[in-house]
Structure 1
Amino acid sequence: MITRLETGPRMSKIVKHNGTAYLCGQVGAGDSVAEQTRDCLGRVDALLQEAGSSREQMLQVIIWLSSMEDFAEMNAVWDAWVPEGHAPARACGEARLARLGLKVEVIVTAAY
């Protein structure tokens, strides 16, 4: 069975199937990559909770940065957020994000 949460005409914020929760890409508010990353990860926390999951159950995370020059600043926030011993498989790359001013987008897959 597939369960879709917060579904709109274009996407669902969460899709659950067979013990796995797929979250839509999350972006955050703020001027710096650190501010946007903190806000974005707060949104991820809320979606994980809604999905019946948690940071400790993340399987894979894909992070897009508008500039790889922000890699260290984003990682400083990320490293403080990920529970010790529960780091997911992760990829990070550079991409043009959906709108001007966005610096980071995070896509999470987690068990529930």
Structure 2
Amino acid sequence: MSTITRHHVGPRMSQIVTHNGTVYLAGQVGKPTDDVAQQTKSCLEQIDTLLAEAGSDKTRMLQVVIWLADMSDFAAMNAVWDTWVPEGHTPARATGEAKLATPDHLVEFIVTAAQN
């Protein structure tokens, strides 16, 4: 039986789950008082930190699902994303609009990656 490892376990979720060389991150959100660009930046910084802790990095991302509270923020989010994601290592990606945990959260990233 393969091992499932959980990090930063809380009552509702774990921030990182690894299984069979795959890293699953919980949805990452930014500070609710920030604009979408700053929320995106802080989400991506958190993703870098969590992937490193799990033995991975952004070049190993397999899939990213992005939820925006308002699709009119798509260009502003992408402007930050495009400077962060390594050329030649873009993951499979989907972006949609959804109500997030609070009205002040403007973007959420859900990442799946391979371990190094």
Does residue 87 (structure 1) correspond to residue 90 (structure 2)? The answer is: yes
Find the partner of 1:61 among 64, 80, 84. 64
Give the match for residue 37 of structure 1.
40
Supply the RMSD in Å over aligned alpha carbons: 0.7
Deviation of the 1:12 alpha carbon: 0.6
Find the partner of 1:25 among 24, 27, 30. 27
Question: After the TM superposition, which parts of structure 1 deviate over 4 Å for at least 4 consecutive aligned residues?
Answer: none
TM-score, with length taken from structure 2: 0.94
TM-score, with length taken from structure 1: 0.98
- Distance in 1 between residues matched to 2:29 and 2:103, nearest whole Å: 12
Tell me, what secondary structure is at the counterpart of 1:107? strand
Find the partner of 1:48 among 34, 42, 51. 51
Tell me, what secondary structure is at the counterpart of 1:6? strand
- Distance in 1 between residues matched to 2:21 and 2:113, nearest whole Å: 9
Return 5+ residue gaps in structure 1 as ranges.
Answer: none
Q: How many residues align?
A: 112
Tell me, what secondary structure is at the counterpart of 1:84? coil
Name the % identity.
Answer: 65
Return 5+ residue gaps in structure 2 as ranges.
Answer: none
- Distance in 2 between residues matched to 1:57 and 1:44, nearest whole Å: 12
Does residue 103 (structure 1) correspond to residue 106 (structure 2)? The answer is: yes
Deviation of the 1:105 alpha carbon: 0.2
Tell me, what secondary structure is at the counterpart of 1:49? helix
Deviations 1:16-67 (A, max 9, x none): 0001000000001252110100011101111001110000000000000000
- Distance in 1 between residues matched to 2:84 and 2:47, nearest whole Å: 11
